[in-house]
Amino acid sequence: MKKEFSAECLPKNSLFFVCSSHEERCLGIVRQWRGWRPERTVTFHYDDPNPRRETNHAEMLSLLGAGQATEDIRFTEKDAVASFHRNREQLGSVLRLHAGAPVVADVSVFTKRHLLMLLRWLDDHDCWDRLWLLYSEPEEYEIESRLPLSFGISTVEQVPGFSASPDPSRPLHVVMFLGYEGDRAFATHAFLQPRRTTLIVPYPPFKEEWRGRTEELNNNLIAVVGENALKSADAIAPESSLEVLQAVLGPMDERADTSRAICPLGTKPQIVGAYLYLRHCLDPPAVIYTGSIRHNHSFYSRGVGRSWIIQRP
């Protein structure tokens, strides 16, 4: 679903998950919730040095209010798996304290690996049928000279909680959700060397004037793979990505003839759509996450665009 955000729609007595970031849109929901307040908030606080994020985190805590029950969880994204494992006890105690309460998560600025692990963890703890997901767009991406947002790959790993390694005895079909990563996506494809590739671009994009921007930033990869590999999925509605995956990977209740892997480099709602496919899949694809050598911090997002409810019970 994609429904314009209104705090009046949110459930009372909720448990709220949010993440701070150097991107201003991490504040998009908390600035709009007016009289609504959750019962308790869990704030994920990435610990790599970033003064802009610390400013946004301080504003987030201020907007939450001095009387708000808050769990502030430090998270090391460069060692995400171990960091999530260390946080499991604290997260579990919060869920037990609010057993049966609605869970509301603002997924705007979670890293895609962290988001997938959190969705799996919440699902494993029987939260899916009471889970609300919110998302705020950026107002704009500061992309000058069409430079990508990240460069190269430093690590290649499978996101834990999902399928094991692709079977090397079967040809590999890779589905890549593309964003503005460009060089990183190209390096990921070169590393994996799949027999078949499907590239999914966001369409409709967040804004009509952004049409074609993803293709332009990934033109080298598209030239190698071919335009016939291109598919599109709505940038906001997770069900659109689910439908595309069912079309290119096959029904969720059937086994595949090929090894399959998903590379989540698209929008966060698209990654939620990928999770919708993975959670019901009889023969699920692996989820391959590649860390970049470096991020293009000079050219990133600014401002806060529209906010959405992208899932509700």
Domain architecture of the chain: domains with CATH: 3-140+303-311 (3.40.50.10770), 150-295 (3.40.50)
Q: Specify the residue for token string 């050219």.
A: 299
Contact (Cβ atoms closer than 8 angstroms) between residue 25 and residue 301: yes
pLDDT band at 65; cut points 50, 70, 90:
confident
pLDDT digits (tens, 9 = 90+) for 189-212: 999 999 999 999 999 999 999 999
Q: Evaluate if residue 291 carries a pLDDT over 80.
A: no
Query: What residues does 157 pair with on adjacent strands?
Result: 289
Which structure tokens are listed for 221? 């990869």
pLDDT band at 144; cut points 50, 70, 90:
low
Contact (Cβ atoms closer than 8 angstroms) between residue 17 and residue 44: yes
Three-class SS state of 127: coil
* Whether this model's pTM surpasses 0.75: yes
